[in-house]
Chain A
Amino acid sequence: MRSRRWTPSRVATTLLLALIGLLFAFPLFYLVATSLKTKADLFAPVPSLWPPNPTLEPYYDVLVTRGFSELLVNSIVVGLGATALAICIAFAICYPITRLPAPRRLRGFVLSWSLSLRFLPPVAVVIPYFAIVRAIGLYNQLPALILVYTIFNLPLAIWMLRGFLDEIPLEIEEAALVDGASRWYAFRHIVLPLARTAILAVGIIVFAFDWAEFLFAFILTATPQAMTFPVGVQGLVTQFEIIWNDMAAGGVIAILIPLTLMLIARRHVMTGLTFGVIREK
């Protein structure tokens, strides 16, 4: 059955798969190519597939001349803040439901309720948040974004973390408790070190989601003081006269960060996206 012979149908399917791959990769290739073009290249009558004089100028333009580095810093600050908060809260919620004899119904409620948040469209939630944020004077402030992102990505953090915590055998902790350790000591010196990879994986994925978020930042901020990077990129796409190479460079930067993170945590991406249904061995 498992022959490696190149039968005609095998060649055909391989070619088909290669074609599909090419179709998917091509738009991204053109994005990168455009981001390496000079201003002069943009006026070629027919846009070239390959940058004739590759340059990093558009990246400099976006980050320095247009001042997007400030937005980049905002995005990172918001991402780190919201990720740290989400992990702490998710830990506080997941520890009792995975490590202690929590009633099944309570556990079911936590998981089901948090998953239900995944089904709410952000635009419906942002309208009341907009009112709250203005009322408490946090409009156009990074803390508002941190708070909103924390809540919005909490379900993801809870579901991923509970999956990881379920995998740490209860016996290890119980052994320490029998030996007279306090629960806090067992948590601090046994569960926490064992959960280090889990925390890293959850953190990376939650950060990538925070980084990509657009609608909340778009509505809750107004000036570069609090705008995030995607909001800046949006400006490059919707302006009247699009500067193609700058826009492409903005796109590449926006992609590069989550892409790098996801490659690092690639074994956990699908677990996160499917709320634990797909688990990597």
Chain B
Amino acid sequence: MSAASADTLAAGGRIRTAWTARSRQERLVYKLLLPVLGTVVVLATIPFVLAVIQSLTSDTRGFVGLDNYARALSNPLLYESIKQTALYGAIALPVEILGGLGIALLVHRTVRSSGLRAAIYVAAMIPIVIPQIAVGVVFRLVFAPDYGILNVMLGLTGPSQPLWLSVPQLALVATAAVDIWQWTPFVYLVMFAGLQTVPSESVEAAQVDGATNLTLFRFIELPYLRPLILLVLFFRIADVIRVFDQVYVLTGGGPGTTTQYLSLYIYRIGFKFSDLGQASALAVVVMVSMTLFYTVVSRFLPADRR
């Protein structure tokens, strides 16, 4: 009996020490994490709070209620800008995703040498790491009249040459083409990496069963790629909302308002017209919308898989 009780006691003691050790460690988590995390969350949240305050006030009249929101949301240029941003995305994103996916499949099926694959991997990374401002420089040299290489290559010089950056429809397509140039390789890299995760046994089994390239893609590979396609789509949508640098230096939002995408529009309201009240209202609307967008899509994102 005494042996048994000693045993339970010892076990209890062990449990208790393990328990206190664990809770001590958990306390350590909070002690280490909370000061830093708190500061960072506050620093990252201040702008939002301040934007809300700015959006409800005016420099001259103090508190103005929802006045700034009313002006922001009744401005027809806002809807024009949203429309153009949507058009830009509607041109760029499908081409990037289908193009990137297509190239990934081509390379995956054709290129067998691992050295060549590595070379393509590094080459595809180049456009992605180029600063947006430098992308603007590159495409000035492509699209500019007289000095731009595109018209020179097409043999179109002189007074009747296409003005890629100053004709409304062309400017929209040209800026979208820049986006495609920079981000198709990114989609390629993601898709190619995804294709490498498809188990080769499934592929071989399908091939033994006589699957064509198309059925192989549709039924074996696509299921592995689907989450990646969604991920790319969400990230790219967030990127389209923030497009600024290269368009700013290529067209400045023009001609007219054709390439005045959402970020350029907010910039213009806030810093060209110095209407920080209206710009803050827009900023709040955009921040809230994007947070909602994130909440919806985060279920499809790789939150914490451990």
- Using CB atoms and an 8 Å cutoff, list the residues of chain A in contact with chain B: 1-2, 4, 10, 13-14, 16-17, 20-21, 24-28, 30-31, 34, 42, 46-47, 49, 89, 92-93, 95-97, 100-104, 106-108, 110-113, 115-125, 127-132, 151, 154, 166, 183, 208, 211-212, 214-215, 219, 230, 233-234, 236-238, 242, 244, 247-248, 250-251, 254-255, 258-259, 261-263, 266, 269-270, 273-278
- The number of residue pairs between A and B whose CB atoms lie closer than 8 Å in the complex comes to 264
Instruction: Kindly report which residue of chain B lies nearest to residue A16, judged by CB atoms.
Output: B106
Among B54, B130, B241, max chain A CB count under 10 A is at B130
B contact patch SS: helix
A30-B141 contact, Cβ under 8 Å, with A2-B112, A127-B279, A270-B189: yes
Q: Which residues of A contact B144 (CB under 8 A)?
A: 242
A214 touches B244 (CB 8 A): yes
A119-B290 contact, Cβ under 8 Å, with A30-B149, A101-B25: yes
Q: How far is the CA of A219 from the CA of B271 in the complex (A)?
A: 8
Among A122, A125, A127, max chain B CB count under 10 A is at A127
A124-B149 contact, Cβ under 8 Å, with A119-B238, A230-B131: no
Among B1-9, B89-97, B118-126, the stretch that binds chain A is B118-126
Instruction: Kindly report which residue of chain B lies nearest to residue A259, judged by CB atoms.
Output: B129
Tell whether B109 is near chain A: CB-to-CB under 8 Å.
yes
A123-B283 contact, Cβ under 8 Å, with A97-B33, A251-B138: yes
Q: Which residues of A contact B41 (CB under 8 A)?
A: 113
Q: How far is the CA of A120 from the CA of B36 in the complex (A)?
A: 21
B235 touches A132 (CB 8 A): no
Q: Hey, what's the 0/1 contact readout for B229-251 against A, CB within 8 Å counting as 1?
A: 00100010010011011001110
Task: Pick from B54, B298, B301: contact of A128, CB below 8 A.
Answer: B54
Q: How far is the CA of A106 from the CA of B304 in the complex (A)?
A: 11
Instruction: Kindly report which residue of chain A lies nearest to residue B241, judged by CB atoms.
Output: A121
Instruction: Kindly report which residue of chain A lies nearest to residue B288, judged by CB atoms.
Output: A124
Closest chain B CB from A157 CB (angstroms): 11
B286 touches A124 (CB 8 A): yes
Q: How far is the CA of A106 from the CA of B131 in the complex (A)?
A: 35
Q: Which residues of A contact B248 (CB under 8 A)?
A: 234, 238
B141 touches A278 (CB 8 A): no
Q: Which residues of B contact A237 (CB under 8 A)?
A: 133, 136-137, 140, 249-250
Q: Which residues of B contact A27 (CB under 8 A)?
A: 138-139, 141-142, 149, 181
